[in-house]
Amino acid sequence: MELRLEKYCAQAAKLSRSQVKDALRRKRITLNGRPAKGGEKILPGRDVVCLDGEALAWQQHLYLMLNKPKGVVSATRDSREKTVLDLVPESFQRPGLFPAGRLDKDTTGFVLLTDDGDFAHRMLSPKHHIEKTYQALLAGQFTAEMKRRFESGCVLKDGYQCLPAAIRLLEQGENAWVEIVLREGKYHQIRRMAAACGSRVLELKRIRLGKLNLDPDLKPGECREILHKELQEILTTSTPRA
């Protein structure tokens, strides 16, 4: 797939468009050994693009960790709402980027964005049971019965039986902060599980995918590239619970 030189440089060197234009003007960018010109088309893997004499490596796929804030939808486009892709900096924008798995509008935390459909399929496939860890503020008191129902496989009001989910109390006050680990991802699952136990979710944040934690340095709305070694942490699961 051919790309415009500016887009290639922006993505490979993590530069803004204005920075790429300035580098071209200063003849810091070369294409196949000669000074590059704006608007040229290149073929990744065939053409050699250098910045200050250093070859710019092109990644076939991109993987981003986004700390999703409230009020943003997990979609590629929406005519009325801001989407997770609207938060991605220009240097990370590329065709085919999408959220691998969704958080509802009022849920915050870890969303993985990628253009790698095969990886997303492996991550989301029910047979792999990739763990998703959340912190939730539940209305009222956390009870032994609630713990039993979550860990034995809560039955939702529509009759669906969830897989067993780990839950532990983090802090108890007027309401309860808990950590919940799911191995499936049904629509509004934690909210529906809480409702089936006579409670409701006041706050919900995803803090981990597999064994990869949300980067504490990422502010709401910020994202960073996921390192290759971190991808395997996402696909690493614990031994399934009985």
* pLDDT tens digits along 129-138: 789 999 999 9
* pLDDT tens digits along 125-158: 877 778 999 999 999 999 999 999 999 999 999 9
Residue type, 164: P
Residue of 22, 52, 104, 106 marked catalytic? 104
Residues 215-227, mean pLDDT to the nearest whole number: 96
Contact 142, 178 (CB under 8 A): yes
Residue given tokens 């051919």 in the structure block: 2
Active-site residue flag, 118: no
**Phi, psi (deg, nearest 5) at residue 30:** -120, 150
* pLDDT tens digits along 3-26: 889 988 887 887 888 999 999 999
Residue given tokens 């095969």 in the structure block: 118
Residue 123 neighbours by CB under 8 Å, 6+ apart: 100, 101, 112, 130, 209, 234, 235
Query: Among the residues of 14-112, which ranges form H helices?
Result: 17-25
Q: What is the pTM of this model?
A: 0.80
